[in-house]
């Protein structure tokens, strides 16, 4: 497959379905891998994975990361992503309910590339996802990772 996957880290099944719907609606056709908690996300990224079914690290095109997650929260996942040389340049977009200054500042401090709040209105949400897809999957030039 040419296009790399999108890793969606989301524990709420409703939000998962809505995000998938918004992606589909905006004709974003990349494979979408869903991790339902922080540990699953790291498993997928660092190759000890149940979801990926392989043991080599697998870099997605982008990570859409919720903050409030079971086991490891989003901030912790982000910290581990940035700490590992294999994933430290991976684009990570925080996609969350919170607009608390504290959460925003912390996420950027840990190296988030973008911070997007999930609106209640689905039309706005879909619009946000459309912009995300356009920017991160089309306009943005990602760093070339080694050995891919």
Partner 1 sequence: MNSYPVTLKQSYSSALQAYLADAQEAALMRAYELGRQATENGLGVLDIAAVHQEALTQVLRPSSPSQETLQTVQAASKFLAECIAPFEMTHRGFREANAALKQQATQLANLNKELDAFAYSVSHDLRAPLRAIDGFSQALLEDYLDKLDAQGVDYLNRVRNASQAMGRLIDGLLKLSRLTRAEMRRQPVDLSATAQAIAEALRKSQPERRVAFSIAGGVTANGDPVLLQVVLENLLSNAWKFTSRHATATIEFGATWQDGKQVCFVRDDGAGFEMAYAGKLFGAFQRLHGRNDFEGTGIGLATVRRIIDQHGGRVWAEGAVDRGAAFYFTLEP
Q: Where on the chain is the footprint of partner 1 (CB under 8 A)?
A: 12, 14-15, 17-18, 21, 68, 97-100, 118-123, 125
Residue 56 burial (10 A CB sphere; 0-12, 13-18, 19+): exposed
Instruction: Report, in Å, the least distance between residue 93 CB and partner 1.
Output: 17
**Edge to edge, what strands does the sheet with 32-35 contain?**
32-35, 6-9, 62-65, 92-96, 114-117
Instruction: Report, in Å, the least distance between residue 96 CB and partner 1.
Output: 9
Report the residue number, 12 or 145, with the smaller CB distance to partner 1: 12
Distance (Å, whole) CA 78 – CA 107? 8
Report the residue number, 46 or 75, with the smaller CB distance to partner 1: 75
Instruction: Report, in Å, the least distance between residue 24 CB and partner 1.
Output: 11
State the greatest distance between any 2 C-alpha atoms of the chain, in Å, as a whole number. Answer: 42
Report the residue number, 21 or 79, with the smaller CB distance to partner 1: 21
């Amino acid at each position: 497959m040419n296009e790399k996957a999108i890793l969606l880290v989301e524990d709420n099944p409703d939000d998962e379905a809505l995000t998938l719907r918004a992606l589909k609606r905006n004709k974003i056709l990349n494979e979408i891998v869903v991790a339902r908690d922080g540990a699953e996300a790291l498993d997928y990224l660092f190759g000890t994975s149940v979801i990926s079914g392989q043991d080599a690290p697998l870099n997605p095109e982008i990570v859409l990361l919720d903050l409030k997650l079971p086991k490891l929260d989003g901030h912790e996942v982000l910290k581990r992503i940035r700490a590992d040389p294999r994933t430290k340049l991976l684009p990570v977009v925080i996609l969350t309910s919170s607009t608390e200054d504290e959460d925003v500042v912390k996420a950027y401090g840990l190296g988030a590339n973008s911070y997007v709040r999930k609106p209640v209105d689905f039309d706005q949400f879909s619009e946000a996802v459309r912009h995300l897809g356009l920017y991160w999957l089309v306009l943005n030039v990602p760093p070339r990772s080694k050995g891919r």
